[in-house]
Amino acid sequence: MREGSTPIRRQYLKIKQQYPQAIVLFRLGDFYETFDEDARLASRELEIVLTSRGMGKGHKVPMAGIPYHALDNYLARLISRGYKVAICEQVTRPGETKGLVEREVVRLVTPGTVVEPGLLESKSNNYLVSLVWGEEVVGLAYVDITTSEFATTQFPPHRLVPELERLKPSEIIAAESADLPALGSDASLTRLEDYWFELETATQTMLDHFGVSTLDGYGCGHLPLAVRAAGAIVHYIQETQKGVLGQLAHLITYTTDAFMALDVQTQRNLELFQASRYGTAGGSLLSGIDLTRTAMGGRLLRRWLGQPLLDIKELNKRQDAIGWFADNTLNRSRAISLLGEVADCERLINRIKSGIAIPRELTALRRSLEIIPKLAEILEPLGWLKDELKPCPEVVDLISQAIVESPGSLDQGGVIRPGFSEELDNIRKSSKNAKQYLADLERTEREKTGIKSLKVGFNRVFGYYIEVSRPNLSQVPQDYIRKQTLVNGERFFTPELKEYESLILNAQDRISELEAQLFRQVCQQVGAETGRISASAGALADIDAFSALAEIAVRHSYIRPTLTTENTIDISGGRHPVVERTLDEGSFVPNDTFLSNDDAQLIVLTGPNMSGKSTYLRQVALIVLMAQTGSFVPAASATIGLVDRIFTRIGAREDLPAGQSTFMVEMVETANILNNATPRSLIILDEIGRGTSTYDGMSIAWAVVEYIHNHPRLRAKTLYATHYHELTELADILP
């Protein structure tokens, strides 16, 4: 540290030393300032002016700043470019302490720990993932601190990349020494000290966090890698997010075996979440069926598509709810209309509990909670779903009594409703009376002195004053005390004016302090009801997803599929859920499909280009997948035997970064299918062997079809589209 540095410089350097890998935004009054290399970087990335500031005798340092009220905009740009940002706030007010205002970092913002609404996609989770890599088993934990979703698992290594594709994390944390494979993820990778991931450390972190003596109650006590991943993620949040950790009150231990497995290629080939042609959500299955009205419902529907179920009982429960909404048009319309008034309660309650909510977020929560009794009345016939809603009349009453209908910011004041605090009301009344005195003072002083141009004014430097123009100075009374001389006159005050000035200014400070204090108290009281509010938020998401899927079913003539454990897929009049809507109404030609492991295991599909083969293949896979999310499906009728995995090998592409040609990519993907498919799988193959010569390609395709059909471990239901017409001969050869 340079000799002669100013106290504020020494304070900054001490804080920066603690966060060397982050850009420190250092609060100075109404600005966040950056210094030294951070300033140069911020100037370049944010396109703001780089200047300098004296920080000691003959010592200037680079500086660049942003207004505090514009933080979200600039923060979004830094986070999107992979930077970590330490938010350093003034934790004491000027004048409260002698000397320098105290400052400390209140939050380290990383891609996986963003909480600002403007930096988040409303219908997508922002996951932080923790990985523990083992040769035989992988531990994975994930959390969304904006919704308090916290889960952990462990599984074989081949399930890792598909799970990351499903979660689409913004940030992944792993041990410094971990030798991770290619993850196939765009997430920011953060390396942490190894001891965070050690079993003993992680277990103790989890026990301390939940206040328990064993993790068996969370279902992960016997899963060491899952515990290590979860413990490390809790530790990371402890270190970076002050005040957030208390929101993670529940941990779900799950197994990927409870859901249909969807590898990366299948998710992309079926265009579940984004269209491969454009790389955007438009044209995807999700965009085609997402009519949800709330952010919570949108996130839930996305999770359902990424985790199709293998439990017929749970699927029938979803189908029953969707069917009820589909059959009850009036109730469905009323529910959808009410849901349009519901805010993102999951994220709101987390912001409130963590102490970062603003006043209008409390009123948004109140309005949303007021919807619950109305929805409960509509859902009376759906008892189990109605019971998930937890009315919170005490919270509604508290917010109604405490917060005005359309609050501004706490800085602006006027947030706390009159009548909520007697002390605040009295101070406001005194301040109002004093202001009225000052409003009347100008008139009375003009009458008393005869100076018609006399004015009473205020500025931040000199406070309240009486201004008299130069020609009228001879008429100034003896009790006026000179305060400031101007070019065209002079400003004065009186002892009485000074007394009222002190009363008003002190009252304003006290009002601001008291409003902030009362607002914090209200947030704490509301936060104490997090359990009930979160439960209701989950129920609102369910209702939204069910009613949205029912609306889609009614609009596009979807039917309820019959689900079975038999190895059969029988679809009559099936349609592609996305493609049919791009065509004129009625022009899409429906198709039938029958597959059975016993007597119709494999369909070989031939035909010219642009004849609809690829559309048909995807259509069958999407109908099966939709059925296993609980949705109705685009068909005249459908019986779906539950599928454990959907495999797809579609299109020709090369993977240059991995050094793989088109042919090599085809073979790797085909090998993955042959090695991992089971008799309960559905395989979609669209051309195999096109990356090599015609004869070799046909030989490979023939061998693959024979292997799938004949191997006793495999015998999976398969749809295969090909240009090799010779393959039709297999119908006569294979029984």
Look at residue 656 and tell me whether its pLDDT is greater than 50: no
pLDDT value for 243: 64
Q: How far apart are CA 101 and CA 151, in angstroms?
A: 41
Q: How far apart are CA 467 and CA 233, in angstroms?
A: 63
Pairing between β-strand 637-641 and β-strand 645-650 as defined by DSSP bridges: unpaired
For residues 51 and 687, what is the distance between their CA atoms, to the nearest angstrom? 61
Higher pLDDT, 540 or 56: 540
For 2-43, what is each residue's pLDDT tens digit?
556 788 999 999 999 999 999 999 999 899 999 999 999 999
**Which of 81-95, 130-144, 540-554 is predicted least confidently?**
81-95
The two tokens of residue 204 are 């103790």
Q: Is the pLDDT of residue 1 over 70?
A: no
* Dihedral angle computed from the Cα positions of residues 116, 122, 127 and 128, in that order, rounded to the nearest 10 degrees: -10
Say if residues 476 and 449 touch (Cβ distance below 8 Å).
yes
8 A C-beta contact, residue 627 and residue 559: no
C-alpha to C-alpha distances, 632 to 304, 326, 624, 638, 714, nearest whole angstrom: 13, 10, 10, 10, 29
- What mean pLDDT comes out for the span 607-628? 90
CA distance 663 to 491: 88
CA distance to 149, 284, 607, 684, per residue, from 613 (Å): 41, 19, 7, 11
The dihedrals phi and psi of 693, each to the nearest 5 degrees, come to -65, 160
Structure tokens at 30: 């109404």
Q: What is the pTM of this model?
A: 0.88
Calculate mean pLDDT across residues 332-345. Answer: 98
Q: Identify which of 50, 31, 53, 30 has the alpha carbon closest to the alpha carbon of residue 39.
A: 50
Among 129-133, 310-314, 583-587, 677-681, which stretch is predicted with the lowest mean pLDDT? 583-587
pLDDT classification of 492: cutoffs 50, 70, 90: very high
Poorest-confidence range of 220-224, 407-411, 503-507?
Answer: 503-507
Q: Whole-angstrom Cα distance, residue 662 to residue 258? A: 34
Q: What percent of the chain has pLDDT over 90?
A: 67
348-367 per-position pLDDT tens digit? 999 999 888 999 999 999 99
Does 653 score more than 60 pLDDT?
no
Q: Looking at 41-50, 450-459, 645-654, 676-685, which range is the least confident one? A: 645-654
- The pLDDT, as a whole number, for residue 280 is 60
| Identity of the residue numbered 486 | L
Question: Residue 150's pLDDT is what?
Answer: 97
pLDDT band of residue 657 (cuts 50, 70, 90) is very low
Percent of all residues in the chain with a pLDDT value above 70, rounded to a whole number: 94
Average pLDDT over residues 334-338: 98
Task: Tell me the pLDDT tens digit for each residue of 252-296.
Answer: 999 999 999 998 889 999 999 988 765 566 789 999 999 999 999
